[in-house]
Chains A and B, each alone.
Chain A
Amino acid sequence: MNLGLKLKNRTILITGASGFIGGRIVERLCQDYDCQVKALVHNLGHAARISRFKIELIKGDVLDKKLMKQITRGVDYVIHGAVGNTADIKLNRQITVEGTRNIMQASLKNRVKRIIYFSTMSVYGYPLPQRVNEESRYKKVPDDNYNQMKIEAEKVAREYKKKGLPLVILQPTQVYGPYSGAWTIWPITEIKNNQLLLVDGGQGLANPVYIDNLVEAVFLALFNKQALGETFIISDGQPITWERFYQAYQKMVTPKRLPDLNQFNRLRWQILSWLIKLAKKIGLPKPNFIINKIKPVYQRAQAVGSWSKNRQMFFSTKSKFEINKAKKLLGYSPRISFSQGMTLTKQWLKYSRLI
């Protein structure tokens, strides 16, 4: 398939375009193809990355139905990546679920040729079976807002598939790489704050996918005839232990090994973190050298104390997410290995002054 030819002079709308995944899609489309990119961005402050390219930047909200109708007019393809990412849980649900409805409705009305919807591995919830594929059951996890709202949003997407919208659903696993909040910036920040911990010796399985591998899958999904109406799990296809995944980041910051959650007495650290919080509240201790001395202890105490059951379960699960369907139907073959991906990620982290 000649992607260049297929994309030539086409118009593509990307929602959530200033986000990590949307941003990379914009970069790749603008760098490698001769197409028109419309980028819907909610917070203009984050548009600096994609504005380096010639795009049509649109400031707006997926909850704005009128705007959705307007911006899908004359568009060939839509890639829907917008998700609620605010401090307000209710609003997040609205953006994620109703926002999806709005963009689907507008795309249906304006007869776009295809729409790619970003679902997530999170819809399968946890605990998980040994092997997870597109046939596995979805599970709502109590207290996991992301999991819940993404299940609901995918349901909305499927409703529109029934109404005739040419849809492909992608379910990426842990997407890491330049600009990844959850799987690159977060671990590095946690490591620097003494807060990243392994669970069960880090022997649970991570199912990482390097951002560029995912973007390849998006491009395949845009044009592949057999993909129409289908759902695909997208990962690198190479599960690795969480120890290996996080140790790759740890190495960039310090030669020390990552500590394990189990080696700490949870209760003792929890009490310590309360005590420090209390001391801070009543204004003790004041001298800076004491604060600096207890800072690492406090950070560690916070980390140990704040590990939730959900998180513990997530990191101890040993499940393999299978990509056989994507390989077979989409012709997906992840090109960038974990070590290549990490090399690029490290270069970016350095440039971004995060390590």
Chain B
Amino acid sequence: MIKIGIIGCGAVVEKFHLPALRKIKGVSIEALVDKDIARVKELGRKFKIRAISDDYRKVLKNLDISLIALPNYLHAPVAIDCLKNGVNVFCEKPMAVNLKEAKKMVKTAKEKKKKLAVGMTRRYFKINQELKQKLDNGELGKIKSFEYEEGFIFSWPLKTTYVFDKQRAGGGVLMDMGSHVMDLIIWLWGKPTKIEYWDDGYNGVEANCQIKLRIGDIKGRIELSRNRTLTNMFKIAGQKEIIETPAGGIGEEKFETGIKKELEAFIKAITDKTDKFVSGKDVLESIKAIDCCYKYKKQIYEPWLKA
């Protein structure tokens, strides 16, 4: 039996992780941790989990895995602490708010010979896996360009305001949705060779961003939004064929199914001592790309904004 502890008990844990974990065999939820003790109690009652705490350090020694679903800025310090205490880590995305911290996490995992997984849920969706297969088989011919658009009026379940706080979230739509998208693009084609980036943040977190990039000969355009409805399509133009798939790749699947698959994969990797999961090292390039975007950011032109 693999023992897992959940650190950070926001709305997403309640809605997705806990229901998913309960459906996985061979795993027991050994601890729920949140600094808001009333919140942990509430979840403990709802999911019938007795071991609750407001301090993750107190529960680490019993755990095989700690699942970190804290505000982004805490991912790195808490993950590193868990790894140092001999606990494998499953960290929610974005793994870290910058490359420096991400590298430190990967290094610690290596030194401590522990596994560090990242919740790149979208890699587990059927549509994305089929897309990857198709591209790896060269079915579209040589890829010339792609366009990726994802944008809705923001509706992610939230218990707190942290996703809108630059300090704690590390960024806006690029850090949040973009960590998935960048990971997907790099998983499909490899690391970008050129990036141009625009967003609409002003000392706060951006609600919209536009990215122009090149991966070798492939030209790409990405547009993400938290307050506009975009086409929500991923268009790929190959020499043989042009295809369109739903952005995000969730399609008919339930989000919870993706969460279940990624957790199952990690639990299996620990039981079987394999490395068949999305690891910290696997996402370093995407974090590097996001770092680069923020560093060389240009402002989106909004003429109606000026007084």
What's the count of A-B pairs with C-beta under 8 Å?
A: 78
How many whole Å from A102's CB to the nearest CB in chain B? 21
Contact A45 B305 (CB under 8 A): no
Residues of chain B from 279 to 305 with CB closer than 8 A to chain A in the complex: 302-305
Chain A minimum-CB-distance residue to B156? A45
Known contacts A44-B158, A57-B165; is A51 also within 8 Å of B307 by CB?
A: no
Chain B minimum-CB-distance residue to A53? B204
Contact B207 A31 (CB under 8 A): no
Query: Is A54 an interface residue, CB under 8 A from the partner?
Result: yes
Query: A277 to B229, alpha carbons, bound, how many Å?
Result: 29
Query: A177 to B206, alpha carbons, bound, how many Å?
Result: 21
CB neighbours (8 Å) of A135 from chain B are none
Contact A45 B153 (CB under 8 A): yes
Residues of chain A from 331 to 349 with CB closer than 8 A to chain B in the complex: 344-345, 347-348
Centre residue among A27, A44, A46, A177 by max chain B CB count within 10 A: A44
CB neighbours (8 Å) of A57 from chain B are 161, 164-165
Query: A98 to B228, alpha carbons, bound, how many Å?
Result: 33
Task: Count residues of chain B with CB under 8 A from any CB of chain A.
Answer: 31
Contact B161 A48 (CB under 8 A): no
Query: Is A55 an interface residue, CB under 8 A from the partner?
Result: yes
Query: A47 to B165, alpha carbons, bound, how many Å?
Result: 11
Question: A54 is contacted by which of B155, B160, B166, B230 (Cβ under 8 Å)?
Answer: B166
Residues of chain B from 191 to 211 with CB closer than 8 A to chain A in the complex: 200-207
Chain B minimum-CB-distance residue to A54? B203
Contact B201 A348 (CB under 8 A): no
Query: Is A352 an interface residue, CB under 8 A from the partner?
Result: yes
How many whole Å from A3's CB to the nearest CB in chain B? 11
Query: Is A30 an interface residue, CB under 8 A from the partner?
Result: yes
Contact B164 A28 (CB under 8 A): no
Binary interface encoding of chain B residues 146-159 relative to chain A, with 1 for a CB under 8 A from any of its CBs, else 0: 00000001111010
Centre residue among B173, B202, B204 by max chain A CB count within 10 A: B204
Query: A10 to B4, alpha carbons, bound, how many Å?
Result: 48
Size class of the A contact interface (CB-based, 8 Å): 20 to 34
How many whole Å from B306's CB to the nearest CB in chain A? 8
How many whole Å from A289's CB to the nearest CB in chain B? 23
Contact B304 A344 (CB under 8 A): yes
Query: Is B227 an interface residue, CB under 8 A from the partner?
Result: yes
Contact B305 A31 (CB under 8 A): yes
Query: Is A88 an interface residue, CB under 8 A from the partner?
Result: no
Question: A51 is contacted by which of B207, B228, B303 (Cβ under 8 Å)?
Answer: B207
Known contacts A48-B154, A52-B202, A52-B206; is A348 also within 8 Å of B304 by CB?
A: yes
Contact B207 A46 (CB under 8 A): no
CB neighbours (8 Å) of B172 from chain A are 48, 51-52
Contact B304 A52 (CB under 8 A): no
Question: B204 is contacted by which of A28, A54, A344 (Cβ under 8 Å)?
Answer: A54
CB neighbours (8 Å) of B161 from chain A are 44, 47, 57-59
Contact B153 A53 (CB under 8 A): no
> Contacts A30-B203, A54-B203 given; 8 further ones with Cβ under 8 A?
A44-B158, A45-B153, A48-B164, A52-B172, A52-B207, A58-B161, A177-B304, A178-B304
What are 22 A-B interface contacts by the 8 Å CB criterion? A30-B202, A30-B203, A31-B306, A32-B307, A45-B155, A46-B154, A47-B164, A48-B154, A48-B226, A51-B164, A52-B172, A52-B205, A52-B206, A53-B202, A53-B203, A54-B202, A57-B161, A58-B161, A59-B160, A344-B303, A345-B304, A353-B228
Q: Which residues of A contact B (CB under 8 A)?
A: 27-28, 30-32, 44-55, 57-59, 177-178, 212, 344-345, 347-348, 351-353
Q: Which residues of B contact A (CB under 8 A)?
A: 153-156, 158, 160-161, 164-166, 172-173, 200-207, 226-230, 302-307
Q: Which 5 pairs, one residue from A and one from B, show the smallest C-beta to C-beta distance?
A: A51-B164, A48-B226, A48-B207, A54-B203, A344-B304
